[in-house]
Amino acid sequence: MKKLLNKANSHLLLVLLATLFFIQQGCKKEQSPSTSKGLPVINSIRNYVASPGDSVLTSVGTGKWIVISGSNLRGALQIYFNGVKGSFNDAWFSDTSAIVLIPEVIAFPLVEESQLNTIRYVTNHGETTFSFPIVAPAPTISGISNESANPGDSVKINGFNFFFIERISYAGVEVTDFKASSDGTSISMAVPATVSTSGPVLVRTKSGADTTFYHVHDYVTGVLNNYDAVNNFSWGSDVSNSSVDFPGNNGNYGIMKASNVPAGNGEWWGGGRSINTNDAQWVAVSHLQDTLSTYALKFEVAVKKPWLNGTIQIVRDQNWDYMALYRPWRNANGSATAFKTDGWQTVTIPLTNFLKASLPASTLTELLGQEGKGAIKFMFVNDGSDVVSNFEAAVDNIRIVKIR
């Protein structure tokens, strides 16, 4: 019995020693130098996606993850695309491959000719430059600064990748006099003098085109109240048409006012602090099966006096369950920056921002009811800890718009 136990123990010891040996060998194999030797070499660029998408590329756009294939690629210090630094983690690199994120924004018009279509790879043991087509993606329109601007007024088309622009159409009228920002995120222009009807905005570049789903200068579709042709205003704020007080207006508009409002005061119904309309159709019954996220509340606003605290609460009818908040002075990190506008500007609040216990409705019917209509209320309250000394905001063209 003892011999049997001794033999079993001996076998166990041998197994343990063999296991330790292979572990040590594996560790030795895994220990590779943190940097390569010799000049880096780039052979090809591949997609950083699962097969079969990880094919060799012949060109690439901005904001893409790629894999650089070659040799001596460890020890990277910087990787430039058209002269702009990419993002990477050298810990992900091997000697023959490097995973890199191309910059989201490259100001193509400002890139020196010698840097166009180049990848410059800099390491602690040398560098190389690889010629490779880096193209601007197709443009994307994210919004129009003032969808109701009058002919001749200045507007901005906001978005991304406005490079090498070939054509702009604004409400069906061609625009030839414009200026694109160097980073491709905006186009400044004047509303054409011949704009007379509503229509979409189109931007075409060498890389593609984008067109707004909605129309600018549309004073009919989805309008709940504009104080003029569609006047559902019931009570609350003052109404004016002064182009001296708020230049660039389209006829009548509402003016919400509040002064010396104590902290925590929610008496929105007094002193012209609210806009209250009669019933209006938010979404046609035939479209109540559409996805909630495809619709937004829009309106134009003009604020001349710095707005630093207080909130406009927005609800449908007396349904206080779902509420949207408009407080443009509040930054994403919770800090405050006094808000003013340079004339009128368009505000877009997706219907998914009408929240109940911090959650949006799951359907349009849940938010708007079976008939898809109701009144709308804009209510100014002081939900902060400081006195609101002087608040004033002009509001016009309140509407529900299908945004995609």
Return the SS3 of 185: coil
Query: Which one-letter DSSP state was computed for residue 133?
Result: -
DSSP string, 69-88: EEES--SEEEEEETTEE-EE
Closest to 40 (Cα-Cα) out of 88, 72, 75: 72
Closest to 45 (Cα-Cα) out of 62, 26, 66, 61: 66
Confidence of residue 15 (pLDDT cuts 50, 70, 90): very low
When the pLDDT of each residue in the chain is averaged and rounded to a whole number, the result is 90
The per-residue pLDDT for range 55-96, each reduced to its tens digit, is 899 999 999 999 999 999 999 999 999 999 999 998 889 999
> 140-211 adopts what CATH topology?
Immunoglobulin-like (2.60.40)
d(CA 192, CA 211): 17
The per-residue pLDDT for range 356-399, each reduced to its tens digit, is 999 999 999 999 999 999 999 999 999 999 999 999 999 999 99
Alpha carbon of 165 to those of 57, 186, 203, 206, 312: distances in Å?
25, 12, 7, 7, 39
Confidence of residue 102 (pLDDT cuts 50, 70, 90): very high
- Does residue 200 come out as left (phi exceeding 0), alpha (psi in the -120 to 50 range) or beta? beta
Averaged pLDDT for residues 223-227: 98
CATH (residue range 223-402): 2.60.120.260
- Residue predicted with more confidence, 118 or 28: 118
The predicted pLDDT at position 360 comes to: 98
Averaged pLDDT for residues 309-338: 95
Does the pLDDT at position 171 exceed 50? yes
Does the pLDDT at position 150 exceed 50? yes
The predicted pLDDT at position 58 comes to: 94
Return the SS3 of 19: helix
Domain extents in the chain: 41-135, 140-211, 223-402
Return the SS3 of 174: strand
Same fold, 41-135 and 223-402: no
Closest to 35 (Cα-Cα) out of 4, 2, 73, 61: 73
Q: Phi and psi for 397 in degrees, rounded to 5?
A: 55, 55
Does the pLDDT at position 12 exceed 50? no
Closest to 32 (Cα-Cα) out of 78, 85, 93, 84: 93
88 in Cβ contact with 76 (< 8 Å): yes
86 in Cβ contact with 103 (< 8 Å): yes
> 41-135 adopts what CATH topology?
Immunoglobulin-like (2.60.40)
